[in-house]
Structure 1
Amino acid sequence: MVRRGVVLLLVVLTAAGCTTAPAAGPARDAGSSASRGPADPVPGARRGGTLVTVQTMDFLHLDPQRQYVTNSNAVDQLIVRTLTMLKNDPNTGREVLVGDLATDAGTDVDHDGRTWRYTLKTGVRYEDGTAVTAADVAYGVARSFAPELSDGPQYVQRWLTGRTDPSTAYAGPYHGGRAVPPGVTVSGRTITFHLASPHPDFPYAASLGTTAPLPRSRDHGAAAVDARPFSTGPYKVASYDRGKRLKLVRNRYWDPATDAVRHDYFDSFVTEIGPDGAAQTRRLVADRGTDRYAVSIDGVPPAMASTVLDDRALRSRQLTGFWPFVTYLNINTTRVTSRAVRQAVNYAVDKAAYVRATGGPARGEVATTLLSPTVLGYRRYDAYPTPGGRGDPAKARQLLGDARPALRYAYPDTAAGRAGARAVIASLRRAGFRITPAPLDPSDYYARISRPDNPYDLYPGSWGADWPTGSTVLPPLFSGTASTDGNSWTYLDERAVDDRIDAISAEPTARAAGDWADLDRDIMRQYAPCVPLAYVKTLSLTGSRVHGVFQSGTSGSPLFYDAWLG
């Protein structure tokens, strides 16, 4: 399964950021009132103009069942709607889960997390004026099972079938399967999901593109949907020249009365593809012509961050905040079997030096936890405290005794990867470790470390939560199942951890939030399978005529549904 943290590692390693403290985290909608449209007006907002975004690389996918990368998600939010959606509250900075296509965030039918029912709002239409049906949502979920689309999110499919490879139970309509997937029933405007086991977080999973509707008659194949998703949102695709330019225009059949989240203030939306982060930053600083209406997507490069941050004239145009990513120094527990050695690694690493080497405080903040500050229930602790996060070689040597462990340190052979490696390796050597560097081609870096038999002891990696709870961080990274299906980098396989994960996964989301935080702390204290290095931050710029764009700590991208041009 493609994960945002994997896909974006190379972006993360070259992005920069700064921030204020995050909000406490998102919450579930308590009822249907917050799901009703229209969305509250944005103070001062005007209609008209073209909002421009500038990014280096093309979208990996726009097909909602297939897209799994933050910049694609931000654009898809303008084009397609899903059963639920996270809604930003500008007064509190919190993001609340609400019904999008559905009248609310979902009904737990039997109060056990196994059966989830959604009723669609009336008046939701496609770009051709036809009504969205519950059967269309079921078909969208059905096509997400197709092996051709397996690089999209797989939560709903796995939970419906109870299999880690759901296509072995049902391969979708492209391969002769029914238009309604197993575990899904449709009745009028209602769609019900019957899961193989309890998943109280299902309403969050329902906010992913997996639940975007599509009439079977409009599915002309994966490539066609990827080039032009069939719109239910306020905008539709007007043209898409891959690798160069995407243009969206208003969908006249979108009814704001049905939408609690989005606005359609700008007339059109254009993505320009090609300029790198430095070029984007220079253009946004200059603020001329159409760049006054633009947003930089790739962020300010570390070398330019201090210049941007020190320019008071740019402060009102900075998009800053935590991303939902944490960068870890993973320890291969199948090779480094001694807990004392792993604890010594935690004490030895100079995290502050790592942050400085990879961009400084505008790039990230020293991390001490497995969960990001953007996750619901996050609590800060430090299982291996050192002065200022600079490492404690004496404490590490005390744990090692007379031993001088020889460890292989792998890292992506990029500028940021090399800079981070130098800082970490130097601190490990000061504590008595014998380190052999192993630079790896960044194009297959994750493929090489995502094998239990990889020949490396230490290697960095970044992971971002798919929605803001611990359920999309700790189970995929630290369960025994993850260690065998290619989702883990530490290959921790402890029955006690698995039992805790199973128990917390079945708890109501609100109660689970604190228990995930407890498990975070206990994994680090009892097993020390990695070193949390940095909470990743971002810094981007907007043009002087752009308003209402905000940096989401949950999605990890600037979001545009409140944007307007002045």
Structure 2
Amino acid sequence: MAREMCKVTVGLTVLALGLTGCAGGGDDASAAGSPRDGGTLRVIGSSDVGHLDPSAVASVGAYGLSRTFARTLLGTRASNDFQETIPVRPDIAERLPTRENGDIGKNRRTYTVRLREGVRWNTEPPRPVTAQDFVRGFKRLCNPASPSAGKGYFISTLKGMEEFCDGYTAVDARNAGAMAAYQRSHEIEGVRAKDDRTLVFELKQPASDFLNLLALPFTAAAPEEYDRYVPDSAEFRQNTLSNGPYQISEYKPGMSYLLTHNPVWRQESDPLRERHVEKIQITLGQDSPETVQQQIEQDAADLAWDQPVPTSAIPRLRDDPRFAIRETPSNSPYLVFNTLSPNNGGALGKREVRQALQYAVDRSALIKIVGGPAVAQPLHTVIPPGNSGYTPANRYPTHGESGDPAKCRELLGKTGHRGLTLKFPYRTNSIHKLIAQSIAENLDACGVKTELTADSGGSFYAGTISTPANARTGKWDIAAPGWTPDWYGNNGRSIIQPLFDGRGYGQNSTNYGGYNNPEVNALIDAALTAPEPAHAAGYWQQADQKIMEDAAIIPLLSRSHTIFHSSRVHGAYFLPTTASYDYTRIWL
């Protein structure tokens, strides 16, 4: 069994990433016999998703859940070979658009997508998923009640998306009828239904990653029934519909989900998913990763919902076939500064203060907390290894990765901002409390006090750090979120744009600290309009360098995902973008 983390070397022109599957047990694909249907897959963990509405999903857990009931035009296939998870494949689309088959126009700005037959909603009576359902899905990305964190991808790419979204901001976010009326009376120029089974997209300019965008979970089709509810409201969450293999039959907020068979789903209409277990029971509220691990090892549960394997358990699980270290090239966690905070005289809005704090963190301690060098490597760039635009760099080096509190103190003294006190909310699940405590100790050695506050995973993202009012009023100063790219391959956009484009800052933005630099914004535009992926990668690298010069965040770790399943589980295939096995392919 391979035990060391894969080493990744990516040049600017190499976008296929050169990654191989590594460090893996957990691959039961070759288990004797055919998959057996039936039984209940028991998933256990800590926090509810921040957003359940497919148009607003913004976390790896929500991505994995939405895959079971909300299908997209294109998608990716789960595999324990990282390379096999990268290619975009047809989902509801009949085929992959190419220039050769005529579905991508000669100007590379027009994309035609035809829907496959046999995909239906679980309505009474059942009805086909139509091109208009996808148009509705794109319109919902900009709703003012719970806008998609990914809307910026499409505002910068699709004709008319920016104008449609700008107009939508004036609509009452508490009025479902008003939002539905706006969507019915306004069109997005670059998204239209030619007929029930044909979609046509018009781009502002060629985008080499547009097919990747069509595979993102928040571009899922949306049935007309969704117009009845305020997006992602409590009422909406009790009325989700499904066109995938499972449907949400029971949802108790913060407590549990019960997924059962969608009776109208058919295997022949779905090339990416399967369906073997009878039910999927997701039980929430267990913050202790040790307790979760114990239950899975004892076959009292089957999979962890939102927690990697506890660090203390990794040494004894090395040779257990149920354990694996899976590649998820990611920036996880990183320390983000609230540049809008009025606290401490607005100190975090000053680049020199943020630069001084770069020297505070002891990454070697964090690596021990998450499981050692087989699980994580120190990270000093915004873009992690294994992603487009990555180039090794370390602008703020310290000896042995252990931090330099003396230099931090010295540089802070020069800024005139001694005696800082920083509000630091942290997630309660997994090892996030230990990570936050370690960083707080580092800051203390630098002369900076912290006020640590526990924040459940669901509210941490959806409420605390994604709400601009909380940033502007100084409800928090620093936080340690994580970021797994929305896709791999030609994916520079999936890191820099959502985290650092200041023009899209607003409710549900993943640019949590409100960072905004016109030079970085211009580099984003240059990358998006670059004729080839290799050219784009050069601009992403330049943006990375500028962001690190500004010290907008402190990158901490490039981390793989440790995962374990019960002895009942077979057919465990991993999806890096969900940091989990594909529920739809597991059998017991």
Q: Which of the five TM-score ranges fits, normalised by the shorter chain? A: 0.7 to 0.9
Query: 1:455 and 1:221 mapped to 2: Cα distance?
Result: 30
Which has the larger share of strand?
A: 1
Instruction: Check if 1:118 corresponds to 2:113.
Output: yes
| 2:168 aligned partner | 167
CA displacement at 1:461 relative to structure 2:
4.1
Q: Which residue of 1 aligns with 2:88?
A: 97
Greater shift after overlay, 475-484 or 205-214?
Answer: 475-484
> SS where residue 178 of structure 1 aligns?
helix
Contact (CA 8 Å) 2:134, 2:221: kept in 1 or not? Answer: yes
Deviations 1:144-178 (A, max 9, x none): 44434435643466454215656237887623541
| Secondary structure of the corresponding residue to residue 79 of structure 1 | coil
Give the aligned residue type for 1:231. S
Structure 1 residues 529 and 98, CA gap change in structure 2 (3 angstroms)? same
Q: Quick one: distance in 2 between partners of 1:317 and 1:237?
A: 29
Encode CA deviations 1:177-230: one digit per residue, 9 max, x unaligned.
417732222112211233556654433332234432344368654566533433
Tell me which moved more, 367-376 or 355-364: 355-364
Q: Per-residue deviation at 1:274?
A: 3.9
Measured after TM superposition, the shift of residue 370 of structure 1 is: 0.7
Q: How many residues align?
A: 528
Kindly tell me: are residues 154 and 557 of structure 1, through their superposed partners in 2, closer, same or farther at Cα, counting changes over 3 Å? Answer: farther
**Alpha carbons of structure 1 residues 285 and 512: separation in structure 2 relative to 1, 3 Å:** farther
Write out per-residue CA displacement over residues 271-325 of structure 1, whole angstroms, 9 at most, x where no aligned residue: 234444333222111125xx3xx212132574xx323431456442446443744
CA distance in 2, matches of 1:161, 1:52: 41
Deviation, 1:255, is 3.5
Residue 359 of structure 1, CA deviation: 6.7
Q: What is the aligned partner in structure 1 of residue 24 from structure 2?
A: none
Amino acid at match of 1:307: A
- Give the aligned partner of residue 77 of structure 1: 67
Contact 2:140–2:147 under 8 Å retained in 1: no
Letter in 2 for 1:548: G
Which of 379, 382, 393 aligns to 1:367? It is: 379
8 A contact 1:238–1:248 mirrored in 2: yes
1:506 pairs with 2:507: no
2:198 aligned to which of 190, 207, 210: 190
Distance 1:135 1:455 in 2: 41
Q: Percent identity?
A: 25
Whether the 8 Å contact between 1:347 and 1:395 is mirrored in structure 2 is yes
For the structure 1 residues 180 and 530, does the alpha-carbon distance in structure 2 shift closer, same or farther, using more than 3 Å as the test? Answer: closer
Residue 481 (structure 1) aligns with: 503
2:152, 2:504 within 8 Å by CA — same for their partners in 1? no
The residue type paired with residue 297 of structure 1 is: W
Tell me the residue number matched to 1:353.
365
Query: Who is 1:67 aligned against?
Result: 57
Give the counterpart letter for 1:437 in structure 2: T
Q: Distance in 1 between matches of 2:146 and 2:404?
A: 47
Displacement after TM superposition at 1:48 (Å): 1.0
Structure 1 residue matching 2:44: 3-state secondary structure: strand
1:544 Cα deviation after fit: 0.3
User: Could you tell me which amino acid in structure 2 is paired with residue 125 of structure 1?
Assistant: R
Could you say which residue in structure 2 is the equivalent of 1:266? 277
**Equivalents in 1 of 2:115, 2:9: separation in Å?**
30
Contact kept in structure 2, 1:379 and 1:517, CA below 8 Å: no
Q: What is the SS of the residue equivalent to 2:334?
A: strand
Q: 2: CA distance between counterparts of 1:505 and 1:118?
A: 22
- Measure the CA separation in 1 of the matches of 2:186 and 2:505: 32
**8 A contact 1:321–1:539 mirrored in 2:** no
- Say which is worse superposed, 102-111 or 369-378, in terms of deviation: 102-111
TM-score normalised by structure 2 residue count: 0.75
Which residue is 1:451 aligned to? Answer: 471
Distance 1:428 1:559 in 2: 39
Give the corresponding residue for 2:6: 21
8 Å CA contact retained: 1:48, 1:265: yes
- Structure 1: state its 5+ residue gaps: 1-17, 29-40
